[in-house]
């Protein structure tokens, strides 16, 4: 997931109707759950392996590639205003942006 906030804010929670536990994990710390992630104004914050990431627990079944998972991210602005943003996340091995950045190999048969 990639987030760019127009104003300084914090990601304070993530919810989903399909997960009973959701944690925000800190980079470089396997058990490093955090309460919030700073989102500086107009700066890209990337959630991926080795950086901040979101871990879903208590799923009724293991997601398969291509499945869609409804998520809501909860943001709190510096002024205290809370905003809930619904997302429809696709289960993938990596993002479409990463796909574009990878070298493409042609295989002759």
Domain count, the chain: 1
Question: pLDDT exceeding 90 applies to what percent of the chain?
Answer: 50
Query: Is the model's pLDDT at 81 over the cut of 90?
Result: yes
In a domain, 109, yes or no: no
Higher pLDDT, 60 or 10: 10
pLDDT of residue 103: 58
Task: Assign residue 39 the CATH number of its domain.
Answer: 2.60.40.1890
Query: Is the model's pLDDT at 54 over the cut of 80?
Result: yes
pLDDT of residue 88: 93
Query: Is the model's pLDDT at 80 over the cut of 70?
Result: yes
Residue 83, burial from CB neighbour count under 10 angstroms (0-12, 13-18, 19+): exposed
Residue 88 belongs to what domain range?
2-98
Query: Is the model's pLDDT at 16 over the cut of 80?
Result: yes
């Amino acid at each position: 997931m990639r987030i760019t906030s127009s104003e300084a804010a914090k990601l304070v929670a993530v919810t989903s109707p399909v997960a009973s536990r959701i944690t925000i994990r800190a980079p470089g710390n396997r058990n490093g759950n955090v309460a919030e992630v700073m989102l500086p104004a107009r700066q890209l914050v990337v959630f991926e392996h080795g950086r901040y990431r979101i871990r879903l627990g208590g799923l009724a079944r293991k997601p398969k590639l291509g499945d869609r998972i409804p998520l809501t991210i909860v943001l709190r602005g510096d002024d205290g205003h809370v905003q809930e943003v619904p997302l429809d996340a696709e289960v993938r091995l990596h993002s479409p942006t990463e796909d574009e950045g990878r070298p493409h190999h042609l295989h002759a048969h």
